[in-house]
Structure 1
Amino acid sequence: MRSMRFHGPFSLGSTLALPLVAALAVLPGAVSPVRAQGPARAATEGAAPVSQPHASSESTKSQTVAANPADKAATPEQRTLTAKAIDKVKQVAKSASDIFNRVPCLPPKGGAGTTGSLPHVAAKLAAGEPVVIIAFGSSSTVGYGTSAPEFTYPNRLAAQLHRQYPTADITVINRGQGGEDAPEMMKRLQTSVIDMHPDLVIWQVGTNAVLRDLDPGETAKLVEEGVARIQAAGSDVVLVDPQYSPKVTERAESANKMVKLLSRIAALRHVGIFPRFDVMRDWHERQSIPIDEFVIADGLHMNDWGYACFAQLLGDDIIRSVGQIKLGVAVPSNVQTYRPM
């Protein structure tokens, strides 16, 4: 089992969705949850993109519902219904934020492996300069399967980094687009990623290539070209390989080939890779977590718990990697790789 590993300088159920939809349906001005995937897109990783707020230090705070003048004329029964809906939203949010109390987010068995560094991110943090991280990818990045926008992995990661570096100006920008893979992503790489001048790009790629039976070799060439362009612009890079879920594993040969190719690119370009496929397989095969406790009913996308644990493990390794080179200071003893939220 591979744990989080890095090469070179960075060698490193959707059960909440239904009550949230019901609650938000009666709330004027409330944030819409991620939409359910339509049957026409079931063969790819994601439906039409859903707008996500940019993560910030406020990403885990409750959102204020805008006042609606019509509420003044609402009947007592309507006001009671609205109050109950608000309570339901709060209950869902609390349930999702406390999700690891039900199923712990544990490191892959066998240890955390080696770590390296994120030179650009570390240099900015050391100098007290703003840090910009871009999450680039498809529907896993958009957050399809979460019960609310704040539970996407980019927003979870932003909250974790703000807890670790409370005085730092850290922005995590979600540049996910449902249904895409390397060919579509390369078309928007310049405008969605490079033009934002990020310090770190977390690139989730490869799942839709597997589902569409795209040539793995051609996908690898595009990803390698994209990584080279991101590096040339002065950004650190972490690749994220496909998820371990039924829709992907039923194409085992293609999935395994994609995982190996992305690992090879990481080694060749000296960038980090988060082995999501092996991490999720560890959840099921070695930690005995049923698939339906981290994958939603479509057999492809993660649920709140899956995204939360993914973000936690990724964030822990970023924190440790930055700590190893930030002004030559070692990682604080109280920062444990893959610690629970």
Structure 2
Amino acid sequence: MSSFRPFGLTAWLAAPMAAALLMPVSLSPARAQAVAVAPTAPRAANPAPAPQTMPAATSQQESPDQRGLTARAIDKVKQVAKSAGDIFSRVPCLPPKGGAKPMGSLPHVASKLVAGKPVVIVAFGSSSTAGFGASSPDFNYPNRLAGQLRRQYPTADITVVNAGVGGEDAPEMMKRLQKEVIDVHPDLVIWQVGTNAVLRNLDPTDTAKLVEEGITRIQAVGDADIVLVDPQYSPRVTERPESASKMVKLLGHVAELRHVGIFPRFEVMRDWHEKQAIPVESFVISDGLHMNDWGYACFAQLLGDDIIRSVGQIKLGVNVPADVRTYRPM
């Protein structure tokens, strides 16, 4: 299979982006770093017509050089806008081969969606929750998930809060658990954790203990559903196989012990590469760690499918225990 590097921007950004391409832009160091590692856009095969708001490239006031620059800017906008709309057309987002077991119901958030009540989801984690590696904030996984759920439930009031901070792991996250998770009174907490602990050679047992403590605190003050997300399958993580394997197993054990859900991201991403024959560079950016637009989009899609499945179970009067795993080949 040929390598594919997804990229995208929303179509409504077309006009301001074209203008931005015509003038110098000053970037903050953090933004500059994100831009530096973002995948470059492939050329669209059949670009859509230019937006009506774009200046005409044939204006009599423009020189030939200006017309060429404007045309290239418009073409660039059309390329990335088209790429954003068909991110799964070249590499589809498929569940792991061999079948998928239901994750178990998320009764609180599902019941609220069934009843048409407002739903608050907190995505808690580090840089892969914040969206490092995505070409735009629109394409981080919390925003992708929010879009999927709003399309599925168009009349629902759904809020997805992105509480991801790059570089953090359980010790730092515990310091902001009260303010950024518990005090928000969420219906669902998606807690992505463990990757930075592996990279820092921290003891996975210590991480698991902190995560269990955090889950206990969340459960003590409300009835929010909780889903843990374990580390990503990527070169920087898999070069530490013993630590990564132990972290994955311990987080699974914590989920079972505390009766919460788990999305086994490590195994899902390994399936992409080993069973679906997708090159790693098709879902991980050049730093060998963070996901790209396609990786975030497929992760969000599969996670959203689990939530939608849980709503269907509640409608049918089925309540599957939360400690039944999804995509658990281990």
Scaled by the length of structure 1, the TM-score of the pair is: 0.75
Q: Deviations over 1:255-295 (max 9, x none)?
A: 00000000000000000000000000000111111111111
Give the Å deviation of 1:228: 1.2
3-state secondary structure, aligned to 1:106: coil
> Residue 246 of structure 1 corresponds to which residue in structure 2?
235
2:255 paired residue number: 266
Pairwise CA RMSD: 3.2
Residue in structure 2 matched with residue 10 of structure 1 by the alignment: none
Mapping of residues 124-203 of structure 1, within 5 Å: 124-203=112-191
2:92 alignment partner, one of 86, 96, 104: 104
Deviations along 1:285-312, one digit per CA (max 9) or x if unpaired, are 1111111111111100111111111111
Q: Residue 312 of structure 1 corresponds to which residue in structure 2?
A: 301
For structure 2, the 5+ residue unaligned runs are: 38-50, 52-60, 320-325
Match of 1:91 among 79, 88, 91: 79
Q: 1:15 to 1:236 in 2, by over 3 A?
A: closer
Is the contact made by 1:182 and 1:205 (CA closer than 8 Å) also made in structure 2?
Answer: yes
Distance 2:8 2:151 in 1: 27
| Cα displacement (A) at 1:149 | 1.2
Decide whether aligned partners of structure 1 residues 246 and 140 sit closer, same or farther in structure 2, where only a CA change above 3 A counts.
same
Tell me, in whole angstroms, the C-alpha distance in 1 between the residues paired with 2:293 and 2:148: 16
Deviation at 1:185, TM superposition (A): 0.5
Q: Secondary structure in 2 aligned to 1:101?
A: coil
What is residue 311 of structure 2 aligned with on the other side? Answer: 322
Contact 2:122/2:186 (<8 A) preserved: yes
User: Which residue in the other structure is 2:21 paired with?
Assistant: 26
2:312 maps to a residue whose letter is G
User: 1:36 aligns to what?
Assistant: 33
Kindly tell me: are residues 119 and 160 of structure 1, through their superposed partners in 2, closer, same or farther at Cα, counting changes over 3 Å? same
TM-score by length of 2: 0.78
Change (3 A) 1:108 1:34: farther
Count of aligned pairs between the two proteins: 286
What SS is found at the alignment partner of 1:99? coil
Say if 1:95 and 1:127 are closer, same or farther in 2 by CA, change over 3 A: same
SS of the residue corresponding to residue 33 of structure 2 reads coil
Shift in Å, 1:90: 4.1
Are 1:207 and 1:243, in contact at CA under 8 Å, matched by a contact in 2?
yes
- The SS at the match of 1:203 is strand
Letter in 2 for 1:109: K
- Contact between 1:244 and 1:278, CA under 8 Å: does it hold in 2? yes
1:116-166 Cα shifts (integer Å, max 9, x gaps): 211110221122210011111111011111111111111111111011111
The question of 1:281 aligning with 2:278 is answered: no
- Mapped to 2, the partners of 1:27 and 1:215 lie a distance apart of 50
The letter for the 1-side match of 2:220 is A
